[in-house]
Amino acid sequence: MIDYAEIAFKILNCILKVKPHQAITISTEIHNVSEYDDPLIEIPFLEELALFIRKAKALPIIDVSTENLHKRFFEEITDDSIDISTEQFFKWINSSELFIDLSWRSNPQFYQSIADRSYKRVKMSSKEFIRIFSDNNKKLLLLGFPTKGLSIYYKVDHQLIEKTYFEALNLDYNELKKRVLIFDGKIKKSQKWYLDTDKRTVEIEFEHDSLCMYGDFNDEVIVTLPCGSWEQDIIQERFKGIFLADSIYFDHHRWHDVQIIFENGKVTDVETVSDLEDINLLKTLLFQKISGISLQVGLNKNIIEKTNYSLFDMRKHKNVSLIMNNSRGQLIALSHNASLHESKEKNILEEV
């Protein structure tokens, strides 16, 4: 049985660090578009979060909407009314110091029913949204409660997704922070590394600062849960070798056991061990111009089984992912339980 109370306590104390007299908005959505979801599936978790906020002498503000209303906003409101003015947005954002969104990304199946043209009418970009949060010293926690709609969209086992989600949230965040920072320190000892996947190797040189995701906001405005990973950009023109991906993730598409050959940061060849569905789509994605590559290492010890859902799998303990951005702004993730080592040194992932 899921212990919502224990998980809520850890999130509010270890991540949000709730203080007396703070106002905290919790957003949730009633899932009333499709028949396969319990409309109130998020409510028990919301109640525990709200109770612990009150016990901390802070004020929970409950923001409830419905999927159907969300859909109708996009489809029925005219172009001159759909955008929220900056003044209106400031009024909303100044109502709380902290914001928790339970419904973020919880049901992508629902969003497929809304036409692209409806989204394009919204003028506020995600970058502008983040900038306003940052300028006003606000913090947003994205929880992404998994619904059956999410499992149907990604064609994954819902029981496994739900189990993995709550186990991944219910961890020792202080211990996670320690392990992520120790790993970060080891990586910084060298610029050049070798990534091995079943006797295939790619050479990696890192650039820029690393991104350590262990639940602390630090200088970030948004934290996404489950957390537990380390990420750093790769110098693209020096990236070369062969990578065997046991899983490739792009939106709701999945491919398995694909070998990719890189030369100077470009994909030069793609091979599969068997005929795969939508292989032409995969090759189109991989052969497009790459605008950036990063390496992400999963360090959440409570995620021990792959789910086929990228948000969880990329945080799976010791899972390694190459994240590619192509010229169209699309993200493709290539994953494997690889080994990472410096020259002929031992695999540093054995120590995390």
Region 4-154: CATH code: 3.40.1830.10
Q: Is 203 exposed, middle or buried (0-12, 13-18, 19+ CB in 10 A)?
A: middle
pLDDT at 348: 81
Tell me, what's the pLDDT at 40? 92
Rounded Cα distance between 306 and 160, Å, is 9
Q: Which single residue is written with the structure tokens 């100077």?
A: 264
In one letter, which amino acid is 230? Answer: W
β-pairing verdict for 222-224 and 98-101: unpaired
Which residues face 270 on adjacent strands? Answer: 260
- Going residue by residue through the chain, which has 352 residues, state the pLDDT in tens, using 9 for 90 and above: 789 999 999 999 999 999 999 999 999 999 888 777 788 999 999 999 999 999 999 999 999 999 888 888 877 877 666 666 777 778 888 889 999 999 988 877 766 666 665 555 555 567 777 888 888 889 999 999 999 889 999 999 999 999 999 999 999 999 999 999 999 999 998 888 999 999 899 999 998 889 999 999 887 899 999 999 999 999 999 999 999 999 999 999 999 999 999 999 999 999 987 777 788 999 999 998 889 999 999 999 999 999 999 999 999 999 999 999 987 788 999 999 989 988 766 788 877 7
Give residue limits of the domains in the chain: 4-154, 189-214+227-351
d(CA 262, CA 286): 10
Q: How far apart are CA 241 and CA 248, in angstroms?
A: 17
User: What confidence score (pLDDT) does residue 111 get?
Assistant: 67
Query: Beta-carbon neighbour count of residue 340 at 10 Å?
Result: 22
* Per-residue pLDDT, 312: 96
pLDDT of residue 307: 95
Which pLDDT does position 106 carry in this prediction?
81
* pLDDT given for residue 90 in this prediction: 81
In this structure, what DSSP letter does residue 131 have? H
